[in-house]
Amino acid sequence: MPLTDYRTLGRSGLIVSPLALGTMTFGNKGWGSADDVSEAIFNAYVDAGGNFIDTADTYSKGRSEELLGQYVKARGLREQVVLATKFTWTPCRVSL
């Protein structure tokens, strides 16, 4: 499936790639991707037409979001990418 086969994200009006780039391993040298490898992955994704990126403040203790900010800024993509982020690992509890 080409990353340029864009679609609308729900009712938001945002146009996104069919596959998001998950960045949980970005900036984690122990079991993930070192900074230079993370940048190469990011560049390959956007060069292929991808624009939908998943991250969270807990990924690599915030390093993932820091790196993404640097990569997006360096390539001037602020208005071209859609960042999906989360902010906790605490599970939600639903009462029935």
Residues labelled catalytic = 59
Residue ranges of the chain whose pLDDT lies below 70? 88-96
* Residue 86: closest CA among 44, 28, 26, 23: 23
What pTM, to 2 d.p., does this model score? 0.86
Distance CA 48, CA 5 (A): 11
Distance CA 42, CA 49 (A): 11
Q: What is the pLDDT of residue 41?
A: 97
Query: Measured on CA atoms in the order 30, 32, 34, 35, is the torsion positive or negative?
Result: negative
89 contacts 58 by C-beta, under 8 angstroms:
yes
Q: What is the pLDDT of residue 91?
A: 60
Q: What is the pLDDT of residue 89?
A: 64
Instruction: Quote the distance between the C-alpha of residue 86 and its chain's center.
Output: 11
